[in-house]
Amino acid sequence: MGIQKNNLLTASEIMHILIGSIIGIGILSLPNSLVENAYQDAWISVAIGSIYPIYIILLIIFIVSRYPKDNILVLSKKYCGTFIGTILNFAFLTFFFVYTSLSLAGFSNLIRTYSTPYISSFSIVFTSTLIIAYTAYKGVKVLGKINQLSAYLLMILILASIPALAKGRIENLFPMFQSNFKGILKGAKESTFSYAGLEFIAIIYPFVNDAKKVKSSLLKGILIPAIIYIYVVFITIYYLGVDIIPKDFWSFVVVIESVTITVINNFRFIFVVLWIGIEIPLCSNYFYALTFILKDIFKKTSRMLSFILSCILIVALTMMFVNEPTRKKFLEFFVPKYTIFNIFYISLISLLIFFKKGEKSEKY
């Protein structure tokens, strides 16, 4: 998985990969988890919660400024020593392993609910895993291209929700500050978990062909999802109200379905097709990350073998989450803990780089 000239990413591609690594199926149910604590002020919670991803991206930009050619896996072993660095990298691997499975399970549940209930969960999971594995195997350049396409498909869905602005009620946004500041902060904490996946950038930034453009690309790549999240929560509350939102697993889908186009008899089917084009790139990003880290830890393992083993394990774990309430319970358990670890992991490497100013702490 070395860096080759034909495998380099443009600044635009890494921006789209960042967006594609953040926005997945969680956006469809994001309002659900936030209105429980923040009520009508949930969109304010999302705005406050964006501090977390901006903080992580600023740390990555700092790391890039010092080590544009060394990813966080290399730096963790360089500054923490081979033994501790490898342990930290392995924990980072498990994050992508678990999150790939949870994302894939949510995707399967969505497809079966809105499109093909007659197809078994195993068939969807198995087929999807083969697709994401093949996509990841083609390398970061292919990921860059499909994430660009994913961004366009996402914008179509966002634009499809705009007619809801004419059907919503301004009363649904009031009274403001009903939940008090404590409730807004609790909602903000919940919203930070929706940015999980952005850490993928810490692995692939050395693949960018122009390190000088990484800063602006990453800042754009994090501000766009933050704005989209605020919009999604805002319009869902505006259209449905906080009392109706909890009654549907994927409340934003209800908002999207508010669009009425005479020519299209079944907009739900169109939605599913578009969402496939969004979720596959996201899962491919995570799958690439876990196999990349796996190959970095077990250097003697062939790339093909690491992909085959990862496919088997992903399918097995994903099948444990095909019940949507169960998947959400696992999300609530795993994601906060991994978020704390990722903050610690990236912050630690950044601090060591800052204080040691490039000195080697230990030779490999």
Chain segment 148-183, per-residue pLDDT in tens: 999 999 999 999 899 888 888 999 888 887 778 888
Res 317: pLDDT: 95
Res 5: pLDDT: 55
Tens of pLDDT along 292-321? 999 999 988 888 999 999 999 999 999 999
Q: What is the mean pLDDT of residues 195-201?
A: 94
Measure the CA angle with vertex 52, ends 343 and 72; round to 5°: 40
Q: Which has more confidence, 118 or 92?
A: 92
Query: What's the Cα-to-Cα distance from 112 to each of 109, 116, 122, 281, rounded to whole Å?
Result: 5, 5, 11, 19
Per-residue confidence band for 363, with pLDDT thresholds at 50, 70 and 90: very low
| pLDDT above 50: residue 364 | no
Res 265: pLDDT: 58
Res 201: pLDDT: 96
Query: What's the Cα-to-Cα distance from 182 to each of 54, 191, 271, rounded to whole Å?
Result: 22, 14, 36
DSSP state for residue 169 in the 8-state scheme: -
Res 360: pLDDT: 46
Tens of pLDDT along 101-152? 999 999 999 898 888 888 999 999 999 999 999 999 999 999 999 999 999 9
Per-residue confidence band for 261, with pLDDT thresholds at 50, 70 and 90: low
Torsion of CA 326, 183, 32, 275, to 10 degrees: -100
Q: Where are the alpha helices (DSSP H) in the chain?
A: 11-22, 26-38, 42-49, 51-66, 72-80, 82-114, 121-137, 140-160, 180-192, 201-204, 214-240, 251-256, 267-297, 303-318, 324-356
Query: What's the Cα-to-Cα distance from 47 to each of 43, 192, 230, rounded to whole Å?
Result: 7, 10, 6
Q: What is the mean pLDDT of residues 223-233?
A: 96
Percent of the residues in the chain that have a pLDDT greater than 90, as a whole number: 67
Q: Which has more confidence, 176 or 289?
A: 289
Res 268: pLDDT: 74
| pLDDT above 50: residue 341 | yes
Residue with tokens 């600044």: 11
CA distance 38 to 182: 9
CA distance 273 to 57: 31
Domains along the chain with CATH numbers: 10-356 (1.20.1740.10)
